[in-house]
């Protein structure tokens, strides 16, 4: 049987930085409020001509280069995004594949908000274990600034742009294998976080007039409570089901939505401070890109070594949630 191994990581952040100070000139807020309630200090914003696919391509190129796997060997590409280049079609994954020079492979997007990268990982694992694919490129890429309402202080302080990518490939060595991936969803909570307009529920004449059609709206406080509960329960379940204790995890890499959520979940799971990966201060919430961007930070700081166990944990609009247990398994002679 083939197993799926997490081979490499790459990420990209756009140059422009939007600080809390900048935001306090745009809406009624302050650096003090944002820092205290979210832990965020700044976020990166893509240039006007920089699309989600452009960021995805940069992250993916790095992940492929670091994997030791040739571009021609990639046989599937999955992009997790809620801010695609185009509404409906073509998918951002197909655009990324073409920009990378990968032709004729399976390519599609996943819409699972902040849980998108974990969903993409589960798809890669399933395709590889079934024998249908061998080398899957998964990407989380977001230009959230394009769907953020910069007059709404409840959301605009949270979100940023960026991309992360990983190469997942087949192995016969069980020690290298992704151990487990959990994913779930509950549409009962759909109204907590949504882009309410611009879809098939909007009349054609409304669409023509709705400039703000695709902006995100969020019930932040209710989302916060559900997030802490769901993230904690999901991690407890995946650890228990795989007979792994929280102290056996080298790196706990949660979705970077809010420092207070991460702290509450980390404490409930009895994670030590040095296990928890934190990037929320410098990138804000980059939805589907946040986990691979955080893994990349760890990697580039020289803190992610072969064989170390990663625990991923995400939560987002839908509602969706997911967790994963995976050793970092670069190809040794790459």
Residue 214 appears among annotated catalytic residues: no
We find the least distance from the C-beta atom of residue 37 to ligand ACO, in angstroms, to be 4
3-state secondary structure string, 105-127? CEEEEECCHHHHHHHHHHHHHHH
Which residue from 176, 170, 102 is spatially nearest to 139, judged by alpha carbons?
102
CA 120 from centroid of its chain's CA atoms: 9
Supply the Cα-derived Rg of the chain in whole angstroms. Answer: 19
What is the Cα–Cα distance from 175 to 328, expressed in whole angstroms? 10
Query: CB 192 → ligand ACO: shortest distance, Å?
Result: 8
- The residue among 93 and 227 lying less far from ligand ACO, judged by its C-beta, is 227
318 touches 190 (CB < 8 A): yes
Q: How far is the CB of 334 from ligand ACO (least distance, A)?
A: 34
Distance (Å, whole) CA 22 – CA 150: 12
- The Cα 121–Cα 138 span in angstroms is 7
Q: Which is nearer to ligand ACO, 183 or 258 (CB)?
A: 258
Is 285 catalytic? The answer is yes
Query: Quick check: helix, strand or coil at residue 136?
Result: strand
CA contacts within 13 A on the Cβ side of 132:
9
- In the complex, the residues that contact ligand ACO under the rule CB under 6 A are 29, 33-34, 37-38, 113-114, 153-154, 157, 193, 220-221, 223-224, 227, 257-258, 261, 285, 287, 316-317
| Least spacing, CB of residue 333 vs ligand ACO, in Å | 39
The residue among 258 and 279 lying less far from ligand ACO, judged by its C-beta, is 258
Q: Tokens for 128, please give them.
A: 């590889």
Cβ(142)–Cβ(110) below 8 Å: no
CB of 258 to ligand ACO, least distance (A): 4
114 is a catalytic site residue: yes
d(CA 278, CA 19): 18
Taking the least distance from each CB to ligand ACO, the nearer of 159 and 328 is 159
Q: Which is nearer to ligand ACO, 122 or 223 (CB)?
A: 223
Q: Which of 20, 255, 258, 296 is catalytic?
A: 255
Of the pair 37, 99, the CB lying nearest ligand ACO is at: 37
Q: Choose, from 114, 135, 182, 258, the residue flagged as catalytic.
A: 114
**Other CB atoms within 10 Å distance of the CB of residue 208:** 10
Nearest to 141 by CA among 313, 292, 9, 323: 292
Nearest approach in angstroms of CB 57 to ligand ACO is 22
Active site residues: 114, 255, 285
């Amino acid at each position: 049987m083939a197993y799926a191994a997490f081979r490499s990581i790459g990420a990209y952040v756009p140059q422009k930085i939007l600080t809390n100070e900048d935001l306090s000139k745009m809406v009624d807020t302050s650096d003090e409020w944002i820092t205290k309630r979210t832990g965020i200090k700044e976020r990166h914003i893509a240039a006007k001509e920089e699309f989600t696919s452009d960021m995805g391509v940069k992250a993916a190129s790095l992940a492929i280069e670091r994997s030791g796997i040739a571009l021609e060997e990639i046989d599937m590409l999955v992009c997790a995004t809620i801010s695609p280049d185009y509404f409906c079609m073509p998918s951002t994954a197909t655009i990324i594949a073409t920009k990378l020079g990968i032709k004729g492979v399976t390519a599609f997007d996943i819409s699972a908000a902040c849980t998108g990268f974990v969903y993409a990982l589960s798809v890669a694992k399933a395709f590889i274990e079934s024998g249908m694919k061998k080398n899957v490129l998964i990407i989380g890429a977001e230009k959230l600034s394009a769907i953020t309402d910069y007059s709404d202080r409840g959301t605009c302080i949270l979100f940023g742009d960026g991309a992360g990518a990983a190469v997942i490939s087949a192995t016969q060595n069980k020690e290298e294998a992704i151990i487990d991936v959990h994913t779930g969803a509950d549409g009962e909570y759909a109204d907590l976080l949504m882009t309410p307009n611009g879809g098939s529920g909007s009349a054609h004449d409304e669409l023509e007039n709705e400039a703000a059609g695709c902006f995100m709206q969020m019930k932040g406080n209710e989302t916060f409570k559900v997030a802490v509960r769901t993230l904690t329960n999901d991690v407890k379940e995946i650890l228990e089901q795989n007979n792994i204790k929280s102290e056996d995890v080298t790196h706990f890499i949660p979705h970077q939505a809010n420092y207070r959520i991460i702290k509450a979940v980390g404490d409930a799971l009895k994670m030590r401070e040095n296990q928890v990966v934190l990037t929320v201060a410098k990138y804000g919430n980059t939805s589907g890109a946040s986990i691979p961007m955080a893994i990349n930070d760890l990697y580039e700081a020289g803190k992610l070594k072969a064989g170390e166990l990663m625990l991923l944990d995400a939560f987002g609009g839908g509602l969706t949630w997911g967790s994963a247990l995976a050793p970092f398994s670069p190809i040794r002679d790459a």
